[in-house]
Amino acid sequence: MKGKNIILGVTGSIACYKSCDIANELTKKGHKVNVIMTENGMEFVTPLTFQTLTKRKVYTGMFKEYEPSSVKHISLAKECDLFVIAPATANIIAKLASGIADDMLSSVALAYGNKPMVICPAMNTAMYENVHTQKNIELLKDNGVQFIGPKSSLLACGDVGKGSLESTDVILEKLDIILENING
């Protein structure tokens, strides 16, 4: 399989440390991984970690000077074969379901259109099971977005229930299947 251009969105969850593994493994498999971090995601893991693992610039804000010759939130979306958000908080899921584009990650996602997207939720059980979150997930699924997880386990807050980011092995295995089916 020829290496693909993948966007990995990283949002504000303690599960961010697992995203480092995902970025690293996808890069080792020959994919070009462009990481976009939300402001809250950077509270858990630094952009330098992802830059070191992917050997690529990490995108953190809408108004950073990336390349004057392109509108970055549009060019990243156009070049992308697969858009993955891991971990995905209730906040980013709600933004995507509502078409809100108020940061780099949500803006690129909106510009990305209806191409293959995978969301890997990670949040407290009460947040995951909230009727609004479930409606947002169903809306995104109805629009072709694929979900991996979450799984049930002991959460960082001490609760036990559904909301933990799926294991990196499972995420990577499912992403491999999706990537094999993308032409190009």
* Active site positions, annotated: 157
Residue 6's nearest CA partner among 172, 135, 148 is 172
Residue 11 phi, psi (nearest 5): -110, 175
Q: In which residue are the tokens 């697969």 written?
A: 82
CA 177 distance to own-chain centroid: 17
β-pairing, 160-164 vs 151-154, is antiparallel
137 CB contacts (<8 Å, ≥6 apart)? 93, 97, 121, 147
Enter the tokens of residue 86: 């891991």
CA distance 152 to 9: 22
